[in-house]
Chain A
Amino acid sequence: MSEAPYDHVPGDTLVAEEGESSGLLVYTIGLALAVLLTATSFWAANTSLLWAPGIALGLAVLAIAQMGVHLVFFLHITSGPDNTNNALALAFGILIVFLVVAGSLWIMADLNHSMMPMPMHMQH
């Protein structure tokens, strides 16, 4: 914890407070977790051992977990009081991303559903 009452910069290496070797350790743990999650994603996409309809959801969960790993270990976003502004900006960003993606998919699926049935040669 720094003595200054200011926020941390996102992506700051924290070397001043925790030392160089600790900074290296944080990046290395992040890399190891990211490699593990990426390898699991590629394995899950190709395996026939898992229940096929659930794989897309599993891939989404793995991707979100890996983004979390990147945010924590590479960008050093924490829930600490010196990170409130960074975390709030991030939360707002996530809200907008969710609204844009989920809203578009929802409204376009709804439009497709209410379209008049088309002759075969006009579809997509």
Chain B
Amino acid sequence: MNIAVAINELRPEALTTAAEEGPAPKRIVVGYGFWIFLLSDIVMFAALFAAYAVLVRATAGGPAGDQLFNQTSVAIETACLLASSYTCGLMSLAVSSRRRGAFYLAAVVTLLLGAAFLFLELREFADMIARGATPQTSAFLSAFFTLVGCHGLHVTVGLIWLVVMMAQVAVKSFRATVVRRLLCFSLFWHALDIVWVALFTVVYLMGIRA
């Protein structure tokens, strides 16, 4: 009885379902598929986080996190990555309204901020290794370099991808395939920032408390 009333209240055009409309547009299929990939990537990071959390106290007589981590450097890295996530959002806005100038500006700022993040992270790694805190030193440092290095590797891949996308926009303009790749890139970049939030909290902030 109630169902019959509900059906009468619906507009007839609202009753066409996705199944009746046929396959979804390619942009939705591609974006959803990439979303699934990103979630599986985050599951991989979860395994690295679990390994880190299990091994964080296994310092084997070597230095612990509170002796190694430089909080100022981490704060600047965090600011760079958060700002680059924002400019990546501005880039998506420029892409959806097809403004080339704004796209290049946002892409270059995103690239520079990402590169600054990577530079600071590599400098931090070099500093730690110079002080004898290499991945071979302890299980804690192996887990640390695997987890943080894997995120850094993702950022590197993202930067290369962004350069490629800028070249593709220059050569091919905003055609549908390029816009889909830009959508996937922005998803990838925002997901990296989400992983970094977990990373700076679990590794650095909890590390200096312990």
| Residues of A that sit less than 8 Å from B by CB | 4-13, 15-16, 20, 23-24, 27-28, 30-31, 34-35, 38, 41-42, 44-46, 52, 55-56, 59-60, 62-63, 66-67, 70-71, 74-75, 85-86, 89-90, 92-93, 96-97, 100-101, 103-105, 108, 124
Interface contact B205-A45, CB-CB below 8 Å:
yes
Check if B90 is an interface residue, CB within 8 A of chain A.
yes
Check if B53 is an interface residue, CB within 8 A of chain A.
yes
What residue in chain B is nearest A103 (Cβ atoms)?
Answer: B50
Q: Which residues of B contact A100 (CB under 8 A)?
A: 43, 46-47, 50
How many chain-B residues does the 8 Å CB contact rule pick out? 61
Given contacts A62-B201, A124-B59, contact A104 B42 (CB under 8 A): no
| Residues of B that sit less than 8 Å from A by CB | 16-18, 21, 24-25, 27-28, 30-32, 35-36, 39-40, 42-43, 46-47, 49-51, 53-54, 57-61, 71, 75, 78-79, 82-83, 85-86, 89-90, 92-93, 95-97, 139, 183, 186-187, 190-191, 193-194, 197-198, 200-202, 205-206, 208-209
Interface contact A9-B75, CB-CB below 8 Å:
no
Q: How many A-B residue pairs have CB under 8 A?
A: 152
Interface contact A12-B197, CB-CB below 8 Å:
no
